[in-house]
Amino acid sequence: MSLPFALSTLARGMRPSPIRELFPLIRRPGMISFAGGLPAPDAFPVEAFAACADVLAARGREVLQYGASEGWPELREVLLERMTAHLGRPVAGDELLVTTGSQQALDLLARGILDPGDTVVVEGPTYPGALHSLRNVGARFAAVPSDGDGMLVDALPEVVAAVERETGKRPRLVYVVPDFANPTGACLTLARRRRLVELAAALGIPVLEDDPYGRVRFRGEALPAVTALAAGSPWVLYAGSFSKVLAPGVRLGWLVGPPELVRAMVMLRQGSDLCPPTVTQALVAEYCRRGHLEGHLERVIATYRVRAEAMQRALRAELPEGAASWREPDGGFFHWLRFPGRDATALFRSAVAQGVAFVPGVAFFPEPDEQVGGLVVDAEHARLAFTFADEAGIVEGCRRLARALAE
Amino acid sequence: MSLPFALSTLARGMRPSPIRELFPLIRRPGMISFAGGLPAPDAFPVEAFAACADVLAARGREVLQYGASEGWPELREVLLERMTAHLGRPVAGDELLVTTGSQQALDLLARGILDPGDTVVVEGPTYPGALHSLRNVGARFAAVPSDGDGMLVDALPEVVAAVERETGKRPRLVYVVPDFANPTGACLTLARRRRLVELAAALGIPVLEDDPYGRVRFRGEALPAVTALAAGSPWVLYAGSFSKVLAPGVRLGWLVGPPELVRAMVMLRQGSDLCPPTVTQALVAEYCRRGHLEGHLERVIATYRVRAEAMQRALRAELPEGAASWREPDGGFFHWLRFPGRDATALFRSAVAQGVAFVPGVAFFPEPDEQVGGLVVDAEHARLAFTFADEAGIVEGCRRLARALAE
């Protein structure tokens, strides 16, 4: 039976994400998946996390009740302390919002600062989930190309000017993943970070630094967060997440931003999910207070280093000379491969037939018809996550990929 | 420092909910609160729920991972079985969406079927959180008056016609809480339920039956859900919640609706919070599978029956003759008191000074400037929740209310 009433303009205009379309293919039995950006399930801290469940008994009456829309006080304490260290300045309570996954930080931020038709500047390529949240409020996109050192920040003024020429309006947000970007794995250089902070204020456009992967570094020195370099400037906002450093199943993230923005997002969230789940917040707060997080992070990093290196070796050993090029990531979840002269979406279909999955690069760009200020697309790249399959799976997956390339 | 960039039109237009404004007053030490619609913390199933946490150890690798946007399979099974019983027909998997609280069901439904400026028909008075979700997508409201038997459904065609005359467009949704409505505690009669089902299809307007309280009945026979009477008609949607029958801290609700609508909501949720928290879904599924829910519900009902009756007695004993009138609820959370000739918001301020809080009736109506099709307001009523304070608190709170009335 077809729906007898109309969906909203927003819902009618939705397009299935290319990634979502691929899910059924990827789930076939025997498939080796380099596709989803999923943490390694064997690296989850199952025992230590489950042991924290005694908080559900000890503080059940609070834990089972409605909580504050701003977040559970103990989790807020943990986050304020961590953010104060990470951003290099005291972060105040009214700058912090706990969210139901950092996806909700994006969702509430989008609703809080964008009107339909507004333009957001993103890296090309960028995280498709961010495009989705922003699309949900009717955003259009200007894509700034990126290279192995992240967004080409110096191109930002020209992109902004092109958007203004085309739409008559300045973009309302710059969205960037400076550390181990999704999908490229690139880290924005220090010079580009500094330039981005200057440009945010100079152009009058707030920047969201989305940082799910920054702590997952297995080589080299950490760079200061863009938000840390901004030193309290209201032009730079920070979003963090427990998904990659602890577990996505808790659906907890957070945003640090100017109090007035946080207040607006709190009000929007009261019409959205009222408050983050108190049960998961209490569990995660307990997990952090017991000092588990740092030790677990070491284990996560060790696991992913081994897998990233295994994938490096397997790609070099299995793929034909010159068939693909990539840059070794220093952390994060992803290899970003270029297959010169090949269409990565066509290659994806061959690869799936061979029993290995990845995500074709086109999934990480705004669709051509929603881009303004100049078209940026890329059909030759593909994202391979090295986090989910184990070492044997990684080797076999790369063999299958080689067979797909040979077709 | 004031925000240097603009908030969205939506965020700039937000008004603090009258209920939210009252929160700081209500939280004063020593305050007896009849205000929030909070479950009794002493009726939470702390031990049984905490015992279910062994699922976090036994199935940690799945529980800590991302889950399906449609919900955790085991929880979906529980809900499909319960909904099949409650709606009197087999409910299919593609009709069900698990949401992060039933508030999110409202949020996603609003985004899925409403365009900015569209009108939603609500009961006057109605649940302020619903107004908030709907307002977040730019909705306006037509309020249909209600009495002790719920919405005056026969008035619906005239209200719809008035909206069409005023806006040139038909309302896009009817929102109703047929069982133990918030704030009135009223149950929609069987005849009105039947008429509502007829009118939904006849007028071509989908109806959302929001049912957080239906199972909390301590007197009388349950009436069939409006959605059950609709017998699979796509015009009637159903939203349920674990907040009042188990615990709000799990933030889990669900929606049953036509597959095409559910699919649209799933896509919207992928830009919103990706998936409901797997941790809480696994805990709640386990709690239900162990058969705890029905037994717990008996305890909840017994607790609230005692408290509702205690409030009845105390109101009769303490308030001056004729100062207030009300109808005894058969379930739910609320007494809805009329104070003839008095302004309930002014009375609220006196009451808070005396150390007792409730919610003035105006909080349950759309603001006059967002109503279309005729103005419905009510300044003489107040909502008193009987669920949160214990019996001694209820008696003392009613004494304080009497002192406020005497001022």
Per the rule left: phi > 0, alpha: psi between -120 and 50, beta: everything else, A54 is: alpha
Give, for all 407 residues of chain A, the pLDDT tens digit: 689 999 999 999 887 666 566 667 777 889 999 998 899 999 999 999 999 999 999 999 999 999 999 999 999 999 999 999 999 999 999 999 999 999 999 999 999 999 999 999 999 999 999 999 999 999 999 999 999 999 999 999 999 999 999 999 999 999 999 999 999 999 999 999 999 999 999 999 999 999 999 999 999 999 999 999 999 999 999 999 999 999 999 999 999 999 999 999 999 999 999 999 999 999 999 999 999 999 999 999 999 999 999 999 999 999 999 999 999 999 999 999 999 999 999 999 999 999 999 999 999 999 999 999 999 989 999 999 999 999 999 999 999 999 999 98
pLDDT for res A1:
61
Structural domain boundaries of chain A?
Answer: 9-45+294-406, 59-291
Q: Does A24 touch chain B (CB under 8 A)?
A: no
Cβ-in-10-Å burial (0-12, 13-18, 19+) of B227 comes to: buried
H or E element: which one contains B151? Answer: strand B150-151
By the 8 A CB rule, do B238 and B256 touch?
Answer: yes
Provide, as residue numbers in chain A, all residues whose Cβ is less than 8 Å from the Cβ of B274.
101, 103, 129, 248, 251
Q: Identify whether the C-beta of residue A366 lies closer than 8 Å to the C-beta of residue A143.
A: yes
Domain spanning A59-291, CATH class: alpha beta
State the nearest Cα–Cα gap between B406 and chain A, in angstroms.
34
Task: Classify domain B9-45+294-406 at the CATH class level.
Answer: alpha beta
Closest CA to A256 of A120, A88, A142, A132: A88
> Does residue A170 belong to the interface with chain B, where contact is any CB pair within 8 Å?
no
CA–CA separation, A312 and A303 (whole Å): 14
3-state secondary structure of A15: coil
CB contact under 8 A, B104 and A272: yes
Sign of CA dihedral B85, B86, B90, B96: negative
Which amino acid is located at B368 in the chain? P
**How far does A343 lie from chain B, in Å, by closest CA?**
27
The Cα–Cα gap between B308 and B313 comes to 9
- The answer to whether the B9-45+294-406 and B58-291 domains have the same CATH topology is no
Helix pair angle (B102-113, B259-270), 10° resolution: 100
Residues in A closer than 8 angstroms to B235, CB to CB, are: 4-5
Interface A–B counts its CB contacts (< 8 A) at 283
Distance from CA of A310 to the nearest CA of B (A): 23
* Mutual angle of helices B128-135 and B102-113, in 10-degree steps: 40
CATH code: domain B58-291 is: 3.40.640.10
- Is B231 near chain A, with CB under 8 Å? no
Element (H, E) at B287: helix B278-289
Residue A138 confidence (pLDDT): 94
A3 vs B234: CB contact, 8 Å cut-off?
yes
B41 in contact with A at a CB cutoff of 8 Å?
yes
For every residue of B58-84, DSSP letters joined together read: HTHHHHTS---TT--HHHHHHHHHHHH
Asked if A56 and B53 come within 8 Å (Cβ–Cβ), the reply is: yes
pTM, rounded to two decimals: 0.96
Contact B66 A38 (CB under 8 A): yes
Sheet with A359-360, side-by-side order of all strands: A334-338, A381-385, A359-360
pLDDT tens by residue, chain B, 407 residues: 689 999 999 999 887 666 566 667 777 889 999 998 899 999 999 999 999 999 999 999 999 999 999 999 999 999 999 999 999 999 999 999 999 999 999 999 999 999 999 999 999 999 999 999 999 999 999 999 999 999 999 999 999 999 999 999 999 999 999 999 999 999 999 999 999 999 999 999 999 999 999 999 999 999 999 999 999 999 999 999 999 999 999 999 999 999 999 999 999 999 999 999 999 999 999 999 999 999 999 999 999 999 999 999 999 999 999 999 999 999 999 999 999 999 999 999 999 999 999 999 999 999 999 999 999 989 999 999 999 999 999 999 999 999 999 98
A203 CA to centre of own chain = 25
> Pairing between strand A236-241 and A253-256?
antiparallel
Q: Which residues of B touch A72 (CB under 8 A)?
A: none
CB within 8 Å: A57 and B50: yes
| Residues facing B146 on adjacent strands | B151
**Alpha-carbon span B405 to B401, nearest angstrom:** 6
Beta strands in B163-294 (DSSP E): 173-176, 207-210, 236-241, 253-256
pLDDT (0 to 100) of residue A20: 64
